[in-house]
Structure 1
Amino acid sequence: MAKKIKTQEKSEDHMTKAVRSSAQQIWQAGLGAFTDLQQRTRSMEGDKAGHVRETVNTLEQVFEERVTRALESIGVPMRKEIDALTARVDDLTRQVEKLSAAKKAEKAAAKPAAKKAVKKPAAKKAAP
């Protein structure tokens, strides 16, 4: 049973890495294409350049939206989700630390009382 779980975890980990790698390659290819278009646009002048810039901006926006949708559809968490989880973990960590400090204080307060109760003078043995 444990072997099956470990194998499944490795498989999921491998799949996650592959998806991230593919997404990164797609993103880099798109950015490369946009960079190339932007460089070509800079060499143009007038109305034609303005139209090309506008088209490039529109294409960039469409590309970003599609990549985001593709990543969401395969379950890759977005920055907002990661930020929300990080904030939640920080909040829970603070709560645990408060509870831990309260428990330590409670133990420290109870310790002296317990020691006093334990320390009783030993009865003297009567001499024969």
Structure 2
Amino acid sequence: MVKKTKAAAPSAPEAAKHSQLAGAVKDSAQQIWLAGMGAFSKAQEEGTKVFEALVKEGMTLQKKTQGIAEEKISEVTGKMSAMADTVSNKAGQNWDKLESIFEARTAKALNKLGVPTAKDVQALAERVDALAAAVAKLGKGAAPKAAVKAAAKPAAKAVKAKPVAKPAAVEAVAEKAPVKRARKTAAKPAAAA
């Protein structure tokens, strides 16, 4: 067996080497630490400048983006208002068509029920006026047969143009009105004579 010998204590020159190496490492570590601190300080200064430059670029980019967005919004708004105008025009046309269809169907239903139209009432009023004039002439002694025939022909043509079934009440009123007028006008000339 081999006996181990105790490690011998370092000699003085070796200890000096060690302390020189430790001092060099310590000095080197101190320089590295100081270099890191300088780099950090420089990065802070440069970082602030870079940050400010990036903020300026961001503002410029934001302005450009807002301009483009506003252009697109105005373009889309124009298209939407044009579409709205087109839709409202088409809706107006459809309402007009619907209104005319409703009016036609209402007129047809009223015609089937025998309700006279405004034209029919106007023609009847003209006929009554013509008959009243003829009766007035009869009361004065003018050619009675010729006046009645002349007054009856235009009124008959107006009414015959569009035959409408009139309710019995309308016909009764139409028949009585000329008779009452004729009696009144006939009574006036007799009273005057």
Give the TM-score, by structure 1 length: 0.46
Give the TM-score, by structure 2 length: 0.31
Task: Specify the structure having the higher radius of gyration (Cα).
Answer: 2
